[in-house]
Amino acid sequence: MQKSIEVEYWVVDQDGALTNPGSLTEYSEFVEEEFVYPLLELKTPPCETYSALRSTFVEQLADLLSKADELGKVLVPLGTPINSESIELRTTDRSRIQKHVLGDNFAYAKYCAGTHLHFEKRNVTDQLNVLTSLDPALALLNSSPYFRGDRVANGARAYIYRKKCYEYFPLHGQLWDYVNTVGQWERQLDRLFDSFKEASMKEGVSENDIEASFSPQDIVWTPVRLRGEMPTVEWRAPDTSLPSQILRVAEEIGAIMEQLHHTEVRIEGDTGNVTDERITIPEFDTVLTYVEEAIHDGTESAELSAYLERMGFDVQAYEPLTQKIDGRDYVSLDEARKIRLQYGERLKRDVDELTQS
């Protein structure tokens, strides 16, 4: 089964201040600008095996870090920039329309850097439902508890993205319930496209502009999505983090994605577990409870950790960066710059260790 990784990184200068990637996004087709200036995205090509994915991701990231060094820039693997001056948005038709519809809440998205895992479409209904049940695994990569200096949650990015940015359009940015068929998922997309178009037109956006920038396939920013590329089922819930941690979660979720093709998937009860014979996912309301624990408490929640262990994750093997950074109610701008530089160095060491191993 083909799989790929997309990761967003903050770009800072030698003083830790957020900065433009500049030519960092020009040297490779696998490095792209993001919708805000101090953010870039690294994408692996589709890989058939986990081993190939690991080596490709590490090689790409090592090369990107080398290019950043040459330009005097540092990449930072944190879900939010901790605290920063105002972040500038790249002006595109898509972002302009989103700002019209979401209003001031759209600004929350400017402070979010995440990890996206793609898995080749096979048993798509089961893939959608199982990835939905695994959404609480976002806690394994929580990498910032701060938004604009204030301590908001164990996973600040997931909190502000889901609770604030899409507060008034929850189905466009929050976790969806299980589905019985792919058709049910696609009909939901059609309805949300229509509702987004209606809301946009009420804000003075022309129907032609909306249809030129959006389609039912890309109208949502939910934690689980169907994508036309490859084509894939995408899990986009977790923060950006250290590559060793991203690769670990990619391997463990990938193993579950492989298993569901030759075993029964059942929705039942409030426990959930993965065995050789069956994947049992809990009722959706139970998943939502675990998601709340993942956002607010992270792996410090004993109940959440036990659930993730039952679902196939080695929770003790993870070291969420948020646990290292947490501990105060407020982080100043100067302190945030120091933290960004500290974790930029941590990223380089992590890549060096992966390269040597």
User: How large a percentage of the chain has pLDDT more than 90?
Assistant: 90
Q: What share of the chain is helix, strand, coil (3-state, %, to 5)?
A: 50, 15, 35
The predicted model scores a pTM of 0.96
pLDDT for 282? 98
Complete DSSP assignment for 107-124: GGGGG--BEEEEEE-SSH
* E strands, the chain, in order: 3-12, 31-33, 39-43, 74-76, 115-120, 146-147, 150-151, 224-227, 232-235, 264-267, 273-274, 278-281
Taking only the tens place, the pLDDT of each residue in 80-103 is: 999 998 899 888 889 889 988 888
Token pair for 128: 């959608």
**Mean pLDDT, range 325-346, rounded to an integer:** 98
Rounded to whole angstroms, the Cα distance separating 24 from 22 reads: 5
pLDDT for 48? 96
The answer to whether the beta carbons of residues 87 and 111 sit under 8 Å apart is yes
Please state, rounded to an integer, the average pLDDT across all residues of the chain.
Answer: 96
Rounded to whole angstroms, the Cα distance separating 40 from 347 reads: 15
User: How large a percentage of the chain has pLDDT more than 70?
Assistant: 100
Q: Which domains does the chain have, with CATH numbers?
A: 3-356 (3.30.590)
Write the CA distances from 301 to 8, 21, 288, 297, integer angstroms: 27, 37, 14, 6
Of 312, 283, 311, 289, residue with least CA distance to 301:
289
Token pair for 139: 């806690």
